[in-house]
Structure 1
Amino acid sequence: MAGTYGAEKTDCDSPFSLVDATFQWIQENIKDDIDFVIWTGDTARHDSDEAHPRTDKTVLDSNKVVTDKIIKTFSSPEGKLEVPIIPTFGNNDFLPHNIMYPGPNHWFAAYGEIWDRFIPEEQRHSFQFGGWFHVDVIPGKLTVFSLNTMYFFDRNAAVDGCALPSEPGYKHMEWLRVQLDLMRKTGTKAILMGHVPPARTDSKQNWDETCWQRYTLWLQKYRDVVVASLFGHMNIDHFLLSDTKDIDLDVAAGQIPAARSVFRKSINESELSAQGKEDYLQELREIWGDIPGSAIEVLNEEDDHAEVDTEKKKKKNGFKKIGGKYAERYQLSFISPSVVPNYFPTMRVFEYNVTGLENATVWKEKNATEKVQSTENLELRFVGIEKKKKGKKGKKGKEGKQKPKDPNLIIPDDPPKTALPGPAYYPQQFTLTGYTQYFANLTHINNDQPGLDGVEGSKWHDGNHGDKKPIHKPAQPRKFQFEVEYSTFDDKQFKLKDLTVRSYLHLAYRMGQRSKNNEIAEGGGASGDIDADKKKKKKKNKEKNKTWLHWLNFAFVSAVSEDDLEEM
């Protein structure tokens, strides 16, 4: 039994009434505060109804309808887009499900028309060729890359990773490398976004291993350029910390198989049951439990803006374990849950450091006559940079013995020695300062289950439909609205100063501690500082890691009961 706006916590796809209500709420509440929109894909319904199989037309029609609604919501009264929109392909946005063939293909042609106002003219050749492009959201200063993660996706049987030059995944990675190099040369920063995240645990993975290796290597080398990596797909609210110590250049080059990845099972969002998601999140927690505690103690003592005290070996050794003072050993990916949900509908509004942007050029939608750069010039620029890189191929770099013999893996240069750590590591212009997570409590709003009268919307999260009949015929839904689920700016459990890797490394470490003997003190210090007598006095139910349970609740968009969370 589905309500007016859908049936949360079920396999049902959401109705267009939810889409309409969402865009109306955005229009009335937050539109004027938005600088650009990142749309992470999966707009078409899942192919789970055997009685009504999907067709090319229904998939494209769904995307066309939503595109039109986005344009209407974020346009001026004169019909001009007021902010850039950056879409990407989800694995349900084409047929067959998960299977995207190399381009050019009819899907790229169709979406090229649907997303015509979103894709810059000078990026059309890249899009028609591989479904990837980028948008200068703050001209000359900040660019958002739309990655076609379907060519990295382990479940895409039509392609074969990122190591072979004949594969679209290889070409995509080379395009990204060249573009990030251009960003560095022009002083532009980049946000990377896509649908399928690079999730990778001991038993599960999303991407082909060669793609994961190259992407992680690129982000390590261009850490002075990349602001953040943003993804969707998995329907649970969480983050990833990729460890650059897992980079293996021979695997990235495709010269040897990835021994560890043999035992990993590909993650599919439709197969991730509540139990499967719990197992996946617990694996992430185990990884976080291995973060060096001595390094976290050093971070606790070290002020973000203070100079490193070279006289203290403790600090020096602690920093070394995490890649320096700013934890550059790790990379951070944000995975947002969905507007069209498995749980409750949700959306995220990021905020970023705007220091020095007072006189920045504002993005404006261009008319056809203003789009003057040709794709031919773009191709010449691409080839020219390739020739320059190939000229350096025979030189020995810092990678030393790790450097593979395969000439198809071009290893980018490290950041200039004089460069500051990038925005993902050190607070500066474009560093993400925090975000606000909104959600719509459909159980309360639909008002179609017994016993809900008088229940406060933000307190009621049951959402179990079963075979219950609605209490109102016809339906009597309450007013549709999104409310704040949580905010990183003031969450007392997360204690995030900003969204830098350092901040999340500290959070991940605290959540990785399981037993009361390893719990983190309220002030954020390591477990060794807790008095042994106080540990003995703790009640059994206090042994649970409060920060972990707090985070786990939001991972499931506040749709799972506290008792169920404590059993995880």
Structure 2
Amino acid sequence: MNNRLDRGCGKHPDLLYQAGAAISSACHSQDPKPRKGDRADPWGTHHSDCDSPLRLYNHTMDWIEKEWANEVDFVIWTGDNARHDNDPKHPRTPAEIYELNTMVANRMASIFTSKGIPVVPSIGNNDIWPHNIMYAGPSTITNKFVGIWTKFIPFESYQIFQRGAYYSVELIPNKLGALSLNTLYWYEKNSAVEGCKKGQPGRLELDWLGVQLEVFRGRGMQVWLSGHVGPSLYFPDCRNRYAELVLRYQDTIVGQLFGHMNVDHFYWIDKNVLQPEAAPSNSTSLLSIATSSLQTLLHAYLPHSFSPTSGSPREDVGILKKDVSPKSLSAAFNSLPKQSKLDLDAFSSIINVGPSVVTVYYPAIRVFTYNVTGLANDGQSISCKASRISKLASFAELEDEEDDVVPQKQCRIKKAHTDPNSPSRTNSALTPLGYSQFVIDKLDLKASQKPRWNLEYMTYDIEVLNSTSNYPVPSHLIPSQLFNNSTILSASPTHSIRDASAEDLAPFGLRDLTIPSYLRLARQLGKASLKKKKLWTRFVTYMYMAF
């Protein structure tokens, strides 16, 4: 048991990418004739609308196979495996989208599934045609992806996947599971659905989600939730119902992983999302932390309507409006009361929005570690084919309970399942401990020069590296400046970006990724933002991937 999980998103391989092409053509052609500074680099083009050249995709997968194939216990993969539809001269086709998804799936299966390592994919808004638009299943899309992901989806989940493109799986038998969510049924840009009204596929998926969480909880298990689009971009009624579920099952949900925005951030959901009218303007109230709620934290995520390079229209690029987000986040973080005054029952497990391989920002990969105390000696291994959840609710059962769902305008908070000793709140077995993020910060290279994956930063306390030989990442990937004891310097330390200092590489000093730890970090960031300290500067730099 390696106590690591790999989280990947947004590879966006582009078969049409041409080195030397005009960036304004999505790096597809010499028309218009490229001007100086408007040429696509062989390995990808930073801060542009261009997707990932096949050369970068293959280099990334080769690095993952070399460094991580034998180092992780499971993989959370949050979708978007086809190029964006950003070139009217070369519109995407369903055949191309399925071809790219098949290519990525086969490589993931070769690297991980062939070794018995579970891979949990989720469908992205660019994995379908037209992008964003997905109707209720069974459909061509769900049938195609059952075939493409046949090595990842449990056989007994095929029927439910064909109806909705979501499923559940056990990662550590009787200990840890994952729910792959189809967030497109909740996504406000999906004009094929009407939110989560009765009869809508998103409503049925939320019913299914509630049943699955109850099943996991009844078995004493923990679960990861994963999907492509995060809750900030859901229809209001879908967002409220999702919020109610993650708050109700705080003791069962160990973490939530999403992508889509191509950036690096964390947030949480608190009870004010469901009861905004009860939140007074005084933010020191125990439960009323209005400005740290979902609406405030994530309204900062506003995509630009223009390309940073060409000025051409582009939807869903996932570029943050830099003039808005830090100010909103600073206000939200500064509204938090002291730890002793927080009611931790009022918060969901932490939501991590992770970056992607696409070159809008730095191509990035994130590797988490988690607490395996007591798991290694229970006779169970996750280096074998994952067992499956035996109790799956049927669609008939879900349809029977649909009439009991409370409409959004009458949102009722059911009894929450909270426990101060649960892994989401206290460092214990299965608690996520931290993560390390690797990036390619230099792509303007010749085709013969391979770009280097470097450590951008890690969340851990630097003392973790100097107090144990069980490092959170293989020691040869840790830059030497993170070690203060010369006797344990890694044999061949990797380079870090920007000749970074130890404080740049390990700025946050988190003991774990529990709710209290993240709230403590948020308060520290809020104070640092007011005083313009380096901690805040580093956080903003990492959030925008140095853009």
The TM-score bracket by the shorter chain reads: 0.7 to 0.9
Whole-Å Cα distance in 2 between the matches of residues 233 and 407 of structure 1?
28
Going from structure 1 to structure 2, the CA distance change for 1:69 and 1:429 (only over 3 Å counts) comes to: same
1:476 paired to 2:503: no
Q: Aligned-pair distance for 1:513?
A: 3.3
| Aligned counterpart, 2:65 | 27
The answer on 1:186 being equivalent to 2:219 is yes
Q: Is the 8 A contact 2:246 2:348 kept in 1?
A: no
CA distance in 2, matches of 1:435, 1:271: 26
Q: Structure 1 224/379 Cα, relative in aligned 2: closer, same or farther at 3 Å?
A: closer
Deviations 1:248-278 (A, max 9, x none): 4999xxxxxxxx89x9799558456756244
2:445 counterpart residue number: 447
- One-letter amino acid of the counterpart of residue 190, structure 1: V
For 1:243 and 1:151, the matched residues in 2 are separated by 23
Quick check: 1:244–1:331 contact (8 Å CA) kept in 2? no
Instruction: Provide closer, same or farther for how the CA distance between residues 265 and 407 of structure 1 changes in structure 2, counting only shifts above 3 A.
Output: closer
Secondary structure at the counterpart of residue 276 of structure 1? coil
Tell me if 1:174 matches 2:213. no
* 8 A Cα contact 1:351 1:434, kept in partner: yes
The 1:360–1:208 alpha-carbon spacing in structure 2 relative to 1, beyond 3 Å, is: farther
Q: Determine the C-alpha separation between the residues in 1 that align with 2:73 and 2:63.
A: 17
- 2:417 maps to a residue whose letter is P
> Could you tell me which of 192, 195, 199 is aligned with 1:158?
192
Structure 1 gaps, min length 5: 200-205, 252-259, 299-317, 394-402, 449-474, 520-543, 561-568
Identical residues among aligned pairs (%): 34
* Amino acid across the alignment from 1:507: L
Equivalent position amino acid for 2:53 in 1: P
Contact 2:52 2:357 in 1 (8 A): no
Q: Is the 8 A contact 2:268 2:351 kept in 1?
A: yes
1:323 aligned to 332, 343, 361, which one?
343
Paired AA for residue 69 in structure 1 = R
How far does residue 412 in structure 1 lie from its aligned partner after superposition? 4.7
Residue 432 of structure 1: how far off its partner (Å): 0.5
Paired with 2:379 and 2:235, the residues of 1 have a C-alpha distance of 39
| Counterpart residue number, 1:85 | 119
Change (3 A) 1:115 1:412: farther
> Could you tell me which residue of structure 1 aligns to residue 524 of structure 2?
510
1:361 partner amino acid = Q
Residue 427 of structure 1 corresponds to which residue in structure 2? 427
**What is the rounded CA distance, in whole Å, between the counterparts of 2:407 and 2:455 in structure 1?**
52
State the distance in 1 between where 2:354 and 2:48 align: 19
Residues 1:265 and 1:189: Cα distance change in structure 2 (over 3 Å): closer
Q: Distance in 1 between matches of 2:433 and 2:85?
A: 38
**Do the aligned residues in 1 keep the contact of 2:198 with 2:402 (CA within 8 Å)?**
no
Amino acid in the other structure paired with 2:229 = V
Paired residue type of 1:186: R
Indicate whether 1:291 and 2:336 are aligned.
yes
Q: 2:267 is aligned with what amino acid?
A: L
Q: 1:17 aligns with which of 55, 71, 79?
A: 55
Q: Give the superposition deviation at 1:113.
A: 0.2
1:553/1:247 CA distance change after superposition, 3 Å = same
Letter in structure 2 aligned against 1:104: P
Q: Structure 1 265/435 Cα, relative in aligned 2: closer, same or farther at 3 Å?
A: closer
Following the alignment from structure 2 to structure 1, what is the Cα–Cα distance between the partners of residues 50 and 133? 22
- Could you tell me how far 1:383 is from its partner in structure 2? 5.1
The offset of 1:243, in angstroms, is 2.1
**Cα distance 1:281–1:59, how it changes in 2: closer, same or farther (>3 A)?**
farther
SS, match of residue 242 in structure 1: coil
TM-score, with length taken from structure 2: 0.73
Match for residue 94 of structure 2 among 40, 46, 56: 56
Amino acid at match of 1:282: K
Asked whether the 8 Å contact 1:213–1:249 carries over to 2, the reply is no
Aligned residue in 1 for 2:540? 552
Give the Cα–Cα distance (whole angstroms) in 2 for the partners of residues 244 and 372 of structure 1.
30
| Deviation (angstroms), 1:345 | 1.1
Distance 2:437 2:221 in 1: 28
In structure 2, the CA distance between the partners of 1:404 and 1:177, relative to structure 1 (3 Å rule), is: closer
| RMSD, aligned CA | 3.2
Q: Secondary structure at the match of 2:91?
A: coil
Structure 1 equivalent of residue 171 of structure 2: 137
Larger radius of gyration: 1
Tell me the SS of whatever aligns to 2:105: helix
The one-letter amino acid paired with 2:332 is I
Match of 1:46 in 2: 84
The secondary structure found in structure 2 opposite 1:227 is strand
Match of 1:496 among 507, 510, 532: 510
Query: SS of the counterpart of 2:272?
Result: helix
2:301–2:321 CA contact under 8 A, matched in 1: no
* Deviation string, structure 1 residues 47-74 (Cα, Å, up to 9, x no partner): 0111110000001100011111111222
Q: Judge conservation of contact 1:226–1:422 (CA < 8 Å) in 2.
A: no
Report the residue type matching 2:427 in the other structure.
P
- TM-score of the superposed pair, with normalisation by structure 1: 0.71
Mapped partners of 1:291, 1:372: distance in 2: 39
Q: How has the CA–CA distance of structure 1 residues 291 and 100 changed in structure 2, closer, same or farther, with 3 Å as cutoff?
A: same
After TM superposition, list the pairs within 5 Å mapping 1:296-445 onto structure 2. Answer: 296=339, 298=340, 318=341, 322-324=342-344, 328-358=346-376, 359-363=378-382, 378-380=392-394, 412-415=414-417, 419-443=419-443
| SS of match in other structure, 2:268 | strand
Q: Which residue of 2 aligns with 1:243?
A: 270
User: In structure 2, do the counterparts of structure 1 residues 553 and 357 end up closer, same or farther at CA, with 3 Å as the change threshold?
Assistant: same
Deviation at 1:547, TM superposition (A): 1.4
2:50, 2:359 within 8 Å by CA — same for their partners in 1? no
Secondary structure, counterpart of 2:50 in structure 1:
coil
Q: Shift in Å at residue 144 of structure 1?
A: 0.8
Whether 1:217 aligns to 2:253 is no
| Number of corresponding residues | 438
- Residues 35-90 of structure 1: CA distance to partner in whole angstroms, max 9, x if unpaired? 01111111100001111100000011000111111112225xxxx34201111111
Give a deviation string over 1:397-427, Cα, whole Å, max 9, x none. xxxxxx96899978654327xx544311111
Q: Which amino acid aligns with 2:251?
A: D
Q: CA deviation at 1:134?
A: 1.3
Q: Secondary structure at the match of 1:38?
A: strand
Measure, in 1, the Cα distance between the counterparts of 2:65 and 2:439: 16
